[in-house]
Amino acid sequence: MPARVNKENFDAEVLSSEIPVLVDFYSDSCIPCKKIAPVLSKLESEYADRLKIVKVNAAFDDELVEKYGVEATPTLVLLNKGTEVSRLKGAVSKDEIVSLVDSIK
């Protein structure tokens, strides 16, 4: 299961990561977020050696939500070496996430 991060450990866990990081901005009351959670857990296992997946609770981490311009949950932000590469919004499929991740060279 992807680890939850917040503003205190975001730099260390995400921005300083040696491998790309997929950040899931979610909300506990968001039904699409709950539907995508098992997909992210599976991808975390499948891509363990080349992708890190973390979760940010949008209801509690306003600073990160504002910094990354998150307007709705779920929003998946893909960062590589601390820089945003791409993002997906809403209830997306596993294939869409895989395409996003595989686009990193």
Catalytic (active-site) positions: 30, 33
Calpha distance 5→91 (Å, rounded): 21
- Residue 85: what are its φ and ψ, rounded to 5°? -100, -45
Distance CA 81, CA 72 (A): 24
Quick check: bond before 38 cis, omega within 30?
no
The CA distance from 81 to 83, in Å, is 6
